[in-house]
Chains A and B, each alone.
Chain A
Amino acid sequence: MSGDPEMLYGTTLSVESMKVIAESIGLGALPDDAAKELADDVSFKLKQIVQDAAKFMHHSKRQKLSISDVDHALKVRNIEPQYGFVADDFIPFRFASGGGRELHFIEEKEVDLSEVIQTTQPKIPLEVTLRAHWLCVDGVQPTVPENPPPLSKESQAQDSVNPIKKLDQTLTKDVAGKPTTGKIHKLKNIETVHVKQLATHELSVEQQLYYKEITEACVGSDEGRRAEALQSLSCDPGLHEMLPRMCTFIAEGVKVNVVQNNLALLIYLMRMVKALIDNPSLYLEKYLHEFVPSVSTCIVSRQLCMRPELDNHWALRDFGSRLMAQICKNFNTSTNNLQTRVTRLFSSALQNDKTQLSSLYGAVAGLSELGTEVIKVFIVPRLKFISDRIEPQLQGSSISNTDKIAAGHIRAMLQTKCAPVLKTIRNPPDVVDEYKRDYGFLGLTLHQAVVKARNAPPTAVTTTAGNNSSSSIVNASNTASTISRLSSAPQPQISTRINTPTSVTPATQRPISQPAQQQKFVIVTQRPSTPQPSTPTSILPPNLSGTIKYPNPQSINTINLPQNIQVQKVQQSPKIVLVNPPSSQPTQPSGTQPPTNPRPIFVGQQEIPPPELDDLSHLA
């Protein structure tokens, strides 16, 4: 009770409330005096009950008043509890105002009983269990997933920025759990020059074992184990001691496999990168010099697979582009100028007319993931140049089938990525000839896409900040492979590439506005039992196998590649949305469908989180 009028707001029921309640039970004209009297009395009694209920809350060691507390408070006062109001979830109070009146209400939906009866019974709740873990052992916190990471991200960042800190640490290292700087360096060493001993990355036996298991699982053939290993990489705290080794493993692996054109392994390695980036307890800045070349290799390399005309290396390039965008977003600082350097790398590929079409595709993909501004500045001015490059291939004058496919991919990519940008920078009306003049051969396609984007109902897209486009739908049925992609939220562009020119329904649009963290990239290589006809598949030659050799002595792995490689980006959102209607199977390159194809499914499909509760912001 303070003099603050804000606090007193709503502490008594209003006369109007009383009248409304009276009406609801059939009392027409309640006099004002009576209503006032009632309002005061009811407010007082309610407050008393709430005060009592707070006692029950307190004794149940809770911070939040629950319905059962109120029931118990009523029981203590010998009043019949209010049955039927028990709810597990938080029931939000809706608030509406208008015409100078304010109204609080609870949204109650009508429940169709027959529906309730017909639905399958909900699962029995899980058994209550007790779980123990060591919070600390002899004052040292063990690195188990339950505990917070031993080294905070900030201190890892400090480590990488300030070399002196590391020096100081070596003197007092013993506190940090693992006495890595061993007892060999005794006091007299401290007096002498110390700089050389900086990096003594001794791994314990357990860590070595872990490293071996993880790396083997990540590049092995067992998809289940790989999923587990990636899960571990993306969640476990305390991996920072092994991080240098992991980075070397990835960098060397990419070097070797690019030469060998081993697409599958490259994909596995990129998934490792993704997992490491996703790990909230790791700070990767120290290792960017290894990651960035590896990832960019996977984006722009001339050849990534044995048979470029058949294999879906486009998926790897797309995936790599998104990784690169994520890296730029996470680690770009004014000192390392990461994004500038990456952008320069990609755009130089666009300047050079000797660039292979596959590399050109990679460069365009990499740039377009970096945001609208980048597209506007670096891609749009080069559209004519690109048009000139791909025109001969698509006009049929090309000899090489590979180039024709590449050109098709580039066109489809530009169509989805550039249309939303063009829509904003060009004013209607859109004239085909102008487009042709400005963008050459691609003008027609772009024109179509822009017109479609403009016609799309603006409300269909739940816009996030910076989104200025609706989805553009592209007829990509002539492309050799298909990659089902939902949007990538980090990008301002929302693009949906699907195989038939159907319009995207609002239902599929909704998850697009989900924040970026909720997205999961799943690259699926094998599909177990449940067939999902709507999942587009891309086919690799069935008997692709390869051997990789690593400089590291222990890691020589012979890997039999699974037969399908498929790139899927699944959003972890209330629904998993499949864009492709079942009927629209992609046109597949002939003769590559292996009859012994293992049955497909998503692997590593994430548990779907419960739908979010309504917030009240839209009513306020």
Chain B
Amino acid sequence: MAENKTELLAVLQLLRKYNLKGTEDRLKQEASLTDVPDNIQTESEVSSVLAAYKSEGDPLTYETAYVELRRFVDESLDIYKHELAMILYPVFVHMYLELVYNNHEAQAKKLMEKFGPEQEHYYQEDITRLAIVTKRDEMSGNDLTDTFKSNEFIIRISRDTLSLLKRHLQEKKQSVIMNIVNEHLYFDLYEGVARNKTQCEATAGAMTGEARRQDNKVKVYYGLLKEPDFNTFLETKPEEDDDMDPDAPDKPKKKKAKKDPLFSKKSKTDPNAPANDRMPLPVLKDIDKQEKIKALREASKRVCLNAETLPSVCFYSILNAVHSVTCAEISDDSSLIAIGFADSIIKVWSLTPSKLREMKPAEQLKDIDRDADDVLVRMMDDRTAETCRTFTGHNGPVYRCSYSPDKTMMLSCSEDTTIRLWSLHTWTCVVVYRGHLYPIWDVRFSPHGHYFATCSHDKTARLWATDNNQPLRIFCGHYSDVDCVLFHPNSNYIATGSSDRTVRFIAYSEYFQY
């Protein structure tokens, strides 16, 4: 009856749309539908309800129809075969859902048992999930069936292949398949030769079919950002030295001689790089530049691995953690390791002989000479040196930690739907970011700091800035959990991976109106 009511409501909606007042009133009277609110359903819902799987088709014809389609695919010419085979899976899924929707449970199960295992291996996981739905009631509110119902399955197809398919369908007059193809499949037509098996498989497998060709036409600036000019930085720096330390006049000369080969070649601009101001990034402080230079120097000392120079590998084991480690993150200079545990704590170990120190309290910080070279060292309290520190605050398993590029902060995300920002100076929690509705699977700092991205069970990914407790952007579009997120090295893009078997590459910087 409930189902009937929605249908009646949908009809009412339709009548209202075409302004058929009399009929509408009669219907209301007849179905005793009083006080129906206006605009209960949007137009799309009307059509979806009317179209959804309502089929008068004989449940017994489905199997023969599928077998016939499969035979047609098998017997077609090799060049079209693989592209044609792409429609088998969506047709199979929608057949199954139609059967389930029309309460032909036995036939649906039979269809699933017979043809489920022969679908491509990359669909098997979804098929397993689909197979548990065997009743009409179970279809509502189910992610997977909702996705199939409300989205067209996109298949890229060459003109020749499509005409071949259409001819076949018209000849055979298989109403079942005709319906499915018309209602639920979208053919993204292209001119040219049909694709071969590898080309098809390269893009197949997602829950909603392939990406439209139109979707991936946007220009991507995949180059790296232009590095700030270290030469000028290095040049100014020695001058300061000169001012302060006139006793060492030979120092700057040495530095100038040394720096040139390493940093001068960097000044060329990559044509594919985005403009540096395309995305507002934090301004580098002197200390950051120093760090960068240090990292560059380190990188230049790296030795290529080959048969002569074999790698050395250090193996870290966590002892006495009974199945409770959920994530581990080593900082990029291999000085810290952060381990997240299922019992909500995070432990940070120092991997170098230098211990983890806490910052001095504010009263003592006042007394420190701020101009001293080693001010950062002086800020730290030697008495608090420890090799391991624990962060307590989360309320569920910690799924990922991420260091800020300058290694003064760390982010963590957890099952408790919060993201926490921890200071690696005071060893306390600084900010709690709330916004996600469901467990957060991944968090990543932007390679340039300041921004970070998260993704969650709530099917969204979000972009945040550390200074704002609201997300800057919410990225919707995935049909299932967003499992992982990663920044492009130039911080202009985010890639998200989801359980709907798609990767989305998000260009968010267009929308920044600074």
Contacts and interface: CB of A to CB of B under 8 A. Distances in A.
A, B assembled together? yes
Interface of A: 1-3, 40, 44, 47-48, 51, 55-56, 59-62, 64, 66, 68, 72, 76, 88, 125-140, 146
Contacts of A140: 310
A139 B134 contact: no
Contact of B117 (A2, A61, A131, A139): A2
B372 interface: no
Given A1-B113, A2-B116, A140-B310, A146 B315 contact: yes
A1 B128 CA distance: 5
Contacts of B325: 61
B169 to A, nearest CB: 28
Given A40-B134, A44-B132, A138-B309, A133 B499 contact: no
Nearest to A51: B129
A47 B128 CA distance: 11
Interface in B32-69: none
Contacts of A134: 312-315
Given A1-B113, A44-B133, A134-B312, A72 B396 contact: yes
Given A44-B133, A59-B441, A60-B326, A131 B310 contact: no
Contact of B438 (A51, A76, A130): A76
Given A128-B347, A131-B317, A132-B351, 20 more contacts: A1-B117, A2-B113, A3-B114, A40-B134, A44-B132, A44-B133, A44-B135, A59-B483, A76-B438, A76-B439, A125-B320, A128-B319, A128-B321, A128-B341, A130-B319, A132-B316, A132-B317, A134-B312, A135-B315, A138-B312
A137 B313 CA distance: 6
Contacts of B337: 130
14 contacts: A1-B112, A40-B135, A44-B134, A55-B481, A59-B441, A61-B325, A68-B342, A68-B397, A128-B319, A128-B347, A130-B319, A130-B349, A137-B312, A146-B315
Nearest to A147: B315
Nearest to A129: B319
A138 B310 contact: yes
Contacts of B326: 59-61
B318 A128 contact: yes
B98 interface: no
Nearest to B484: A59
B172 to A, nearest CB: 26
B500 interface: no
B399 A59 contact: yes
A1 B347 contact: no
A136 B481 CA distance: 39
Given A128-B347, A131-B316, A1 B311 contact: no
Nearest to B320: A126
Given A59-B399, A88-B322, A139 B311 contact: yes
B315 A133 contact: yes
Contact of A66 (B317, B323, B481): B323
B279 interface: no
B346 to A, nearest CB: 12
B320 A136 contact: no
Contact of B320 (A3, A129, A137): A129
Contacts of A3: 113-114, 116-117
B358 interface: no
B501 interface: no
B388 interface: yes
Contacts of B342: 60, 68
A61 B317 CA distance: 15
Across the A-B interface, the 3 shortest Cβ-Cβ residue pairs: A139-B310, A135-B313, A1-B131
Contact of A72 (B349, B415, B441): B415
A66 B127 CA distance: 24
Interface of B: 112-114, 116-117, 127-129, 131-135, 138, 142, 309-323, 325-327, 337, 339, 341-342, 347, 349, 351, 388, 396-397, 399, 415, 438-439, 441, 457, 481, 483, 499
B351 to A, nearest CB: 8
A613 to B, nearest CB: 15
Contacts of A55: 457, 481, 499
A501 B327 CA distance: 60
A48 B117 contact: no
Contacts of B327: 61
Nearest to A48: B132
A47 B133 CA distance: 10
A132 B322 contact: no
B481 A60 contact: no
A139 B127 CA distance: 45
A136 B313 contact: yes
A84 B483 CA distance: 30
Contacts of A72: 396-397, 415, 439
A51 B142 CA distance: 12
A612 to B, nearest CB: 18
A132 B314 contact: yes
Nearest to A133: B315
A137 B316 CA distance: 14
A64 B134 CA distance: 27
Contacts of B483: 59
A301 to B, nearest CB: 47
Contacts of A88: 322
Contacts of A131: 316-319
B312 A62 contact: no
Contacts of B388: 130
Contacts of B347: 128
A45 B399 CA distance: 26
A76 B438 CA distance: 7
B395 to A, nearest CB: 11
Nearest to B438: A76
Residue of A64, A66, A88, A130 contacting most chain B CB atoms (<10 Å) = A130
A40 B138 CA distance: 10
B117 A47 contact: no
Contacts of A130: 316-319, 337, 339, 349, 388
